[in-house]
Structure 1
Amino acid sequence: MSFLTNHYVLSFIKFAILATLGEVIANSMRNKKLTIPHSIGYRMLIWGLLGVWIAFMMGIFAEAMGAKLAKSGSTILHTKLAFAFLTSLVMNT
């Protein structure tokens, strides 16, 4: 498996870049000038680790939801839309 095709590595990179960029944009809008914090490397590391944790937990919630839906007798709950909605609902609540 290539390093850049690993799900967790990509999640780390995505969260590190996008979440940190969101913080920089929010601070720049608040200060009305481009503001890049001195601790941007640490922020990227923390956001990246949070991204890995979120990807890990989404996998756990998706597998658990799949097992619960497999036990249910309902046919409407076996659609991809219902699976995605219920997984997101359970994870966010």
Structure 2
Amino acid sequence: MLEKSLLSNGVVLGAVILGVIVVGGIIYLNKKSKSKHSFHTQEDIYKQHLVLINNCIRDKKWDILEEMLDSLIVEEFPDLKNKIEEALKNKN
């Protein structure tokens, strides 16, 4: 009887340990997946902002361009800043 109880406890303990390992692995892979997808290169950021600026110019969203002119992102890319300034200057 005692041997059966010890064996049963060992099986339960083994299952718990295996469960912890599996859950830990899932959490690790989920974090790794999220960090991979949220990583953008400077080139990606530049292209996204260029598309946004071109869309604003096309749609004549001058207020958005004025807000972008004050953003830190535009400070990192002087040619984007020049493009916005030129568009605002020629908006009429």
Which category of TM-score, normalised to the shorter sequence, fits these structures? 0.3 to 0.5
- Which structure exhibits the higher relative contact order, with contacts defined as CA atoms closer than 8 Å and separated by 6 or more residues? 1
From the two aligned structures, give the one with the greater helix fraction. Answer: 2
Of structures 1 and 2, the larger Rg is shown by 2
